[in-house]
Chain A
Amino acid sequence: GENVEQHPSTLSVQEGDSAVIKCTYSDSASNYFPWYKQELGKGPQLIIDIRSNVGEKKDQRIAVTLNKTAKHFSLHITETQPEDSAVYFCAASSSTNAGKSTFGDGTTLTVKP
């Protein structure tokens, strides 16, 4: 089955700096890669996603890049703000596997004011 590894497990940055979280996956059939943000005591919410036919996608301060050959994808947050502090999860899924997602273990991002 799919295996997703996420690094780092914790990340602390100064407000205004950039943050980068990286994930690798093992199943070459995976073709959908969402990123979720989870605030304390709440369920995860999608912040950005990318499909395997695209190498990069951007939405304001958030961007995701995908390298299919190397089987890794990354989340980039620029101009970080204290409200970006949360746990971020990457995931990978394949349309041939019932659409189930395999999640990374999460990255706790802290943005210091």
Chain B
Amino acid sequence: DGGITQSPKYLFRKEGQNVTLSCEQNLNHDAMYWYRQDPGQGLRLIYYSQIVNDFQKGDIAEGYSVSREKKESFPLTVTSAQKNPTAFYLCASSMDRFSPLRNTEAFFGQGTRLTVV
């Protein structure tokens, strides 16, 4: 089955620790995204990547880091510098950057709920 997989589903972190959220896709999509969702709010873009070994900051990148060493994988690290990390994190991907329809639907993972304890 093709899709996008996030793990773990639930994650608990102690204050001052870094933690990494996994995102893997087998859709052969070029672009991948990380969003943060807080209760009752929309999706805010943290980082995005259009191609392997390249990524760009989104609207709320402070306190987060990413890497894109493989097309299939786009892990997100929530660092201790992130002041309020408790949230629902969503990873998404979208299709081929060479497609004439460059902006297309995003396929989302099932999310990781991060709680700082």
B42 to chain A: which residues have CB within 8 Å? 6, 89, 103-106
Chain B interface size, under 10 / 10 to 19 / 20 to 34 / 35 or more = 20 to 34
User: Does the CB pair A43–B110 fall under 8 Å?
Assistant: yes
Contact partner of A100 (CB less than 8 A), chosen from B41, B45, B105, B110, is B45
A6 CA to B41 CA in the complex, in Å? 11
Is the CB–CB distance between B110 and A99 below 8 Å?
no
Which chain B residues border A81 with CB–CB below 8 Å?
Answer: none
Beta-carbon nearest neighbor of B56 in chain A: A98
Question: Taking the nearest CB of chain B, how far is it from the CB of A109, in angstroms?
Answer: 14
How far is A42 from B113 in the complex, measured between Cα atoms in Å? 10
B83-117 interface bits toward A, Cβ cutoff 8 Å, 1 = contact, 0 = none: 00000001010100100011111111111010000
- Closest-by-CB residue of B relative to A10 is B40
A42 CA / B104 CA spacing, docked (Å): 20
B55 to chain A, nearest CB (A): 11
Describe A's contact surface by its main secondary structure: loop
Interface string of A1-33 (1 = CB under 8 A from B): 000001001000000000000000000000110
- B33 interface residue per 8 A CB criterion: yes
**Which of chain B's residues has its CB closest to A89's CB?**
B42
The residue from A9, A42, A98 contacting B50, defined by CB atoms under 8 A apart: A98
In the bound complex, do residue B102 and residue A99 qualify as a contact, i.e. CB atoms below 8 Å apart?
yes
Residues of A within 8 A of B41 (CB): 105-106
How many residues from A make CB contacts under 8 Å with B? 26
CB pair A43 B90 closer than 8 Å? yes
A99–B30 Cα gap in the complex (Å)?
11
Provide the bound-state CA to CA distance between A102 and B9, in Å.
25
* A contact residues around B110 at 8 Å (CB): 41-43
Given known contacts A89-B42, A94-B103, is B108 in contact with A99 (CB within 8 Å)?
no
Q: Which residue of A lies closest to B4 (CB)?
A: A43
Closest residue of B by beta carbon distance from A45: B108
From B105, which residue of chain A is reached at the shortest CB distance?
A46
Which of A49, A93, A104 counts the most chain B CB atoms within 10 A?
Answer: A93
Seen from chain B, the residues whose Cβ lies within 8 Å of a Cβ on chain A are 6, 31, 33, 35, 40-43, 45, 48, 50, 56, 58, 90, 92, 94, 97, 101-111, 113
